[in-house]
Amino acid sequence: MTSQPLAHNHTPGASPTIVFLPGYRSDMQGSKVLALEAWARDRGRAFLRFDYAGCGESPGAFEDQTLESWRDDALRIIDTIVEGPVVLVGSSMGGWLMLLVAIARPARIAGLVGIAAAPDFTRWGFSDAEKRTLAEQGRLEQPSDYGPEPMITTLPFWTSGEANLVLEAPIPFDGPVRLLQGQRDAEVPWELALRLGDTLRSDDVQVTLVKGGDHRLSRETDIRLLLRATEDILTACFSPSSC
């Protein structure tokens, strides 16, 4: 873990600020975050992207990090760089983190957009054999679809995830939420998006299922859907009863 400054790019503009939370082993250079940043800049909208500690250009060792430490990274960057209300856009694990951040900062978080959000994946995303390997060896290596390097999960990360489950009780968030989920996602079951939508306390929750969408949801049509969902959240935030 590190308290050193995190790599980030902040575009000033109109409030609320859109803050992007990447997925596991992802960084702030992905196609979705860059497309969303360009869209926000064209509209004069404040936008912030950053790398968690141990990821991308931020300092720290990846295997020293946990779900909780990355949550704290997000809180720290929001607390120190962003003024006013925030709309969180969370991709995969970032969708879990956005829920934890919303719970921790209820007065700051105005709306949520989840992209293949993966809350509680330490509970449902590992087989019994993989959990035994984690317990016995302290780490798990799995083939990655996103590069030659294996996907590494450490026991401290898994334990941190189990200590920060959010789907076991109503999630205390009342703002607008848009959840985008591909039905051909090999990593996150599409039914999880429905469960998450039901678990959120807010009544303003919309779940969009993309029949041909995979986990990345990074095709041009997927990105257009993301931009529409974000614009919808911003519009909801300007209604008299929101934000």
Contacts of 231 (CB under 8 A, 6+ apart): none
Q: Note whether 186 and 214 are within 8 A (CB).
A: yes
Given this model, what pLDDT does residue 165 score?
98
| Type of residue numbered 69 | S
Lowest mean pLDDT among 95-99, 149-153, 180-184: 149-153
User: Of the residues 58, 120, 160, 215, which is catalytic?
Assistant: 215
Q: For every residue of 140-177, which 3-state class applies, written as one string?
A: EEECCCCCCCCEEEEHHHHHHHHCCCCCCCCECCCCCE
| Listed range (66-70, 78-82, 167-171, 237-241) with the worst mean pLDDT | 237-241
* Residue 92 a catalytic site member: yes
For the record, the structure tokens of 180 come out as: 């985008």
pLDDT of 2 > 90? The answer is no
Rounded average pLDDT over 65-83: 97
pLDDT of residue 89: 98
* Mean pLDDT score across all residues of the chain: 95
Residue 184: the pLDDT is 98
Whole-number Å distance between alpha carbons of 227 and 219: 12
pLDDT of 243 higher than 60: no
Q: What percent of the chain has pLDDT over 90?
A: 91
Instruction: Say what angle helices 155-162 and 128-137 make with each other, to 10 degrees.
Output: 120
Q: Summarize pLDDT for 114-170 with one digit per residue, the tens.
A: 999 999 999 999 999 999 999 999 999 998 776 778 899 999 999 999 999 999 999
pLDDT number for residue 149: 82
Banded model confidence at residue 239, pLDDT cuts 50, 70, 90: low
The maximal CA–CA distance of the chain, rounded, in angstroms, is: 54
Q: What is residue 143's predicted lDDT score, i.e. its pLDDT?
A: 86
Closest CA to 112 of 209, 223, 21: 21
CA 229 from centre of chain? 15
Residue 24 has pLDDT above 60, yes or no: yes
At 144 the pLDDT is: 78
Query: Tell me, what's the pLDDT at 237?
Result: 78
Position 132 scores a pLDDT of 96
Q: Which tokens sit at 100?
A: 């934890």
Distance separating alpha carbons of residues 114 and 194, to the nearest angstrom:
12
- Are the C-beta atoms of residues 164 and 71 closer than 8 Å to each other? yes
**Is 222 one of the annotated active-site residues of the chain?**
no
Helix axis angle for 31-42 and 220-237, nearest 10°, is 50
- Pick the closest to residue 95 from 143, 24, 1 (CA basis): 24
Are residues 45 and 234 in contact, defined by beta-carbon separation less than 8 angstroms?
A: yes
Instruction: State residue 69's pLDDT score.
Output: 98
- Report d(CA 78, CA 86) in Å as an integer: 8
Per-residue pLDDT, averaged over 175-198, amounts to 98
Active site residue 10: no
92, 120, 160, 222: the active-site residue: 92
In the chain, % of residues over pLDDT 70: 96
Rounded to whole angstroms, the Cα distance separating 150 from 186 reads: 17
Residue 47: pLDDT over 60: yes
**The Cα angle at residue 99 between residues 95 and 103, in degrees rounded to 5:** 165
What is the arithmetic mean of pLDDT over 181-189?
A: 97
